[in-house]
A and B are shown apart, each in its own frame.
Chain A
Amino acid sequence: MSAPRTVVLELTRMEAAHLAGLVTQFAELLEDAESASGDPAIARLVPDAYSDDAEAAQDFRDMTEGDLLERRRQDAGAVLGSLSEAAALPEEAEPDDEVLMELVELRLDTESLQAWLRCLAAIRLVLATRLGIRSEEDHDVDDPRFGIYEWLGYRLDGLVQAAYDDR
């Protein structure tokens, strides 16, 4: 096994700010989520572990749901922590300000890389539920949320590739 290592992620301040906004929304969603009941997006993060035994599925859920949702919160916090400096835009920045296109480098150690991977994957699951994605072909070019979904996938894939040096 070749363990994921430290990676350097390069992105613009604008992209960092967008990402931080998205992760903040994810964290807020998790804040309100005491359990999977009610929100299918949260339910996707804590799926049934037994498909033909409702009682065993409930027991498993009682045992694991709290930890799983807490981990999502911690991951979101870790990602926001590593983004905070890059995503901080000057108050007076105009939409076409050069500072938005300034490239910043984020150095992610093994632990924070793991949090990033899990967090981006989890946000994609939430977005996919909201977008009603049921197959890999589902796409609506007129819906900008698909663009965000694809962009998260691009970033997630890049981080996974960077984590391994055997490619």
Chain B
Amino acid sequence: MMTMPATPDVDEHVDIHEQEQTVRPWQTVVWNDPVNLMSYVTHVFREYFGFDRAHAERLMLAVHHEGHAVVSEGAREQMELHAQAMHDYGLWATIRQAPQ
């Protein structure tokens, strides 16, 4: 016969929940706008992030059709650098924590 102590179970659940909170990464999000050309946005993704053409185009199309796309994920400071770089090209980018 096995018995499981109830209390540690509850604690463990809480711990996991808290850990999920702390590791939620930050994201740089590029938003669709009616001005920037598709070719230019693809160029920016290729040049700045070093993505190959196919990857850059997929991302550009995601921005275009879905209204926005996450272009990078990681530490907040790094995401701010990416957002500033996007603004430098004239793209509209924001920083956020990954949605739960």
Give 1 or 0 for each of B26-41: 1 = CB within 8 Å of chain A CB.
0000000011110110
How many residue pairs link A and B with beta carbons under 8 A? The number is: 87
Check if A135 is an interface residue, CB within 8 A of chain B: yes
Q: Which residues of B contact A121 (CB under 8 A)?
A: 36-37, 40, 89-90
The contact of A50 among B53, B84, B89, B94, by CB within 8 Å, is: B94
Task: Tell me the complex Cα distance, A146–B18, Å.
Answer: 53
The contact of A3 among B47, B87, B93, by CB within 8 Å, is: B47
The contact of A163 among B43, B92, B94, by CB within 8 Å, is: B43
CB within 8 Å for A125 and B90 given contacts A1-B46, A136-B34, A138-B34: yes
Residue of B40, B89, B90 with most partner-chain A CB within 10 A:
B90
Give the interface residue-count category, chain A. Answer: 35 or more
**Chain A residues at the B interface, C-beta cutoff of 8 Å:** 1-4, 45-52, 56, 60, 63-64, 67-68, 71, 117-118, 121-122, 124-125, 128, 133-136, 138, 153, 156-157, 160-161, 163-164, 166
